[in-house]
């Protein structure tokens, strides 16, 4: 009994030290990201173990290319396992090929369906912050291994949402290894539920 009390005491001390001095994070907590530079303004919540890797804000005059804002959220598990979960948000100008969200999601489906391992998992309409949007979830074979030490093509699951707002085309997309896709889905759903288009 005495040994159990001593063990419990040291376990509590270690946990307190970890959270206080090492900055350990609650894997179920969320961070808020807000983009308020240039012409693109939005906010979202993401699970705190994702890393914001690339931000390319647009400016008032726009860019020469169609896409003017990129945000990538990368799972740190990418270096430890076969998980290479990535959430990508791209905001751009409508063009002749994809003048609106409906045509963008239809084009994504056509492109994905041209691969031999394509399998449609779900397709439906929804709203993002009160804006009409289109969603497609599908399975495909990634021909480029995502991490060193993984040989050959891998099956991945893509979840994509497209919508139009404030004169821009918006895409929110998650790529997951098929082995982690179901667990990753909750992270994607939370981003969709907390996504806010700011004035």
Nearest to 105 by CA among 117, 123, 87: 123
State yes or no: pLDDT of 52 exceeds 50: yes
Q: How far is CA 65 from CA 36, 100, 113, 117, 153, in A?
A: 20, 17, 26, 31, 31
Pairing relationship of beta strands 131-142 and 154-165 according to DSSP bridges: antiparallel
Per-residue pLDDT, 150: 55
Q: How far is CA 55 from CA 65, 69, 72, 165, in A?
A: 16, 7, 7, 19
Domains and CATH numbers, the chain: 29-197 (3.40.1000.10)
> Residue with structure tokens 């791209």?
90
Q: Three-state DSSP class for 117?
A: coil
Between 18 and 139, whose confidence is greater?
139
In sequence order, which residues have a C-beta less than 8 Å from that of residue 48 and are 6 or more positions away?
Answer: 25, 26, 27, 29, 30, 31
Per-residue pLDDT, 76: 66
State yes or no: pLDDT of 145 exceeds 80: no
Q: Three-state DSSP class for 25?
A: coil
Q: Three-state DSSP class for 48?
A: coil
Per-residue pLDDT, 27: 57
Q: What is the pTM assigned to this prediction?
A: 0.77
């Amino acid at each position: 009994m005495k040994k159990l009390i001593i063990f419990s005491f040291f376990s509590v001390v270690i946990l307190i030290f970890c959270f206080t001095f090492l900055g350990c994070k609650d894997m179920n907590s969320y961070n808020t990201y807000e983009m308020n530079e240039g012409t693109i303004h939005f906010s979202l919540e993401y699970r705190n173990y994702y890393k914001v890797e690339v931000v390319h804000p647009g400016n008032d005059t726009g860019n020469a290319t169609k896409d003017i804002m990129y945000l990538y959220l990368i799972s740190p598990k990418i270096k430890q396992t076969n998980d290479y979960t990535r959430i990508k948000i791209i905001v751009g100008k409508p063009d002749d090929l994809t003048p609106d969200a409906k045509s963008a999601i239809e084009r994504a489906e056509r492109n994905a369906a041209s691969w031999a391992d394509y399998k449609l998992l779900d397709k439906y309409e929804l709203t993002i912050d009160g804006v009409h949007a289109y969603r497609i979830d599908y399975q495909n074979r990634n021909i480029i291994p995502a991490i060193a030490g993984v040989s050959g093509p891998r099956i991945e699951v893509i979840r994509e949402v497209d919508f139009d707002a404030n004169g821009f085309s918006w895409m929110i997309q998650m790529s997951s290894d098929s082995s982690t896709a179901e667990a990753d889905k909750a992270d994607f759903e939370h981003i969709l539920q907390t996504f806010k288009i700011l004035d």
